[in-house]
Structure formats: C-alpha cells, structure tokens
Chains A and B, each alone.
Chain A
Amino acid sequence: EPEVTQTPSHQVTQMGQEVILRCVPISNHLYFYWYRQILGQKVEFLVSFYNNEISEKSEIFDDQFSVERPDGSNFTLKIRSTKLEDSAMYFCASGGAGQPQHFGDGTRLSIL
C-alpha cells in the first residue's frame, strides 16, 4: 500500500539554525499538508498546499516557516531560524481528490 514517507525520523538542531524537513507524498495525490504535535498536546495544522501554492495556513505558520515542492515527488517544510518552542513532531500528509488525508510517521525535531 502506498504511504507517505518522511525524513529524517529525528533531527537535532541548534537554536537559530535553519532546518528542512522532507516528505515524499503518495504519488497521485494533489493536496499536501504539514501538521505538528508538541509532546503531550494535540495535533495542530500548519499549512496546506495545492497547485503549487499555499491554500491555507494557521497562525503558527509565520514568516519563519516556508513550504516548497521542489520537484514532482518531494514536499519540504523549512524553518529559517529555529526556536526552542519549535521542538515537536512534524507530520506530513497528502490527499487525493475525494480522498482522505494520509499521514507519514513524522520527524521528531529537537531544538537545543
């Protein structure tokens, strides 16, 4: 069964550094998403992406965040200057037309 894959599984970064989280969505999906989950808290929506542009974004997704689909297969989330509070699990999801969203297993981001 096709699945969403995310790399790396764990990223440790110094505060203030840039980090890029990578996702390979399911191949025929059209909609792409990033969510995050701070330890012990709810899964929170960050951004959705369709037709090469952002469709919707939450208050969390400020100027420090950006997304890109650099080629036909990858979907990335960049955090320009990481803060301690960016430590969380980051989940990528993808969905097709009329299809539910399917999630990857996440990247654990630890900011030191």
Chain B
Amino acid sequence: DAKTTQPTSMDCAEGRAANLPCNHSTISGNEYVYWYRQIHSQGPQYIIHGLKNNETNEMASLIITEDRKSSTLILPHATLRDTAVYYCIVGLSGSARQLTFGSGTQLTVLP
C-alpha cells in the first residue's frame, strides 16, 4: 500500500475551517484515499473516502489533486468535539486488505 505523510499536529480556531493535508505520492491507480479520526482511545471513526473526484458528506469534504499525489480533508466549521487524531490512509476498496495507520495529525480545536 502507498505510504502517506501528514503533519504531526495542527491547531484550528473553533468555528473556522480545518484543512488537513496529506501527501501520498506513490498512490496507485486503483487505491482510494480514506480519512479516519480517533478521539482519545475510542475506535477509529470513518470520515470520508475518495478515488479521483472531490467528495463531500455531512462530516467533511475531501479534495484530491488531479495527479492524486495529495489530498486535503476539510472540516468546514470545526468544533471542540473535532479535536482528535486524523489519519489519512491509502488502500483498496471493499477488500480484505488491511488499513495501515500512520501517526496521523493531532488536530486541536481551540475555543
């Protein structure tokens, strides 16, 4: 599976958009970009995933560059409850393949 690179930590003011970047320059054509988050030792929570096109759901938006070598997760109006470690993971869809978690980005939403 392709490797990802994320900043170790980021801060964001409450109510502002949080933009979390991820580099995945070795992604292959059939691999998806997944975003999960983990709030203090709870189970990882699925946020969003995409292949080529930008995606939006009730939690977030995912912007994938045209060359697919990087992406950005956008939380449009961050709240204190969005404070978590955010993981960007590249992998195949709907298969028995493992998700490989890195260290992620610790997002702290400040009041």
Taking beta carbons and an 8 Å cutoff, which residues of A are in contact with B?
4, 31, 33, 35, 37, 42-45, 48-50, 55-56, 58, 89, 91, 93, 95-106
Contact = CB atoms under 8 A, between A and B. Distances in A.
Contacts of A91: 43-44
A100 B34 contact: yes
Contacts of B42: 105-106
A95 B94 contact: yes
Q: Is the interface of A mostly helix, strand, loop or mixed?
A: strand
A90 to B, nearest CB: 10
Interface string B19-45: 000000000000000101010011111
Contacts of B98: 33, 45, 48, 56, 58
Given A91-B43, A100-B34, A106-B43, A55 B96 contact: yes
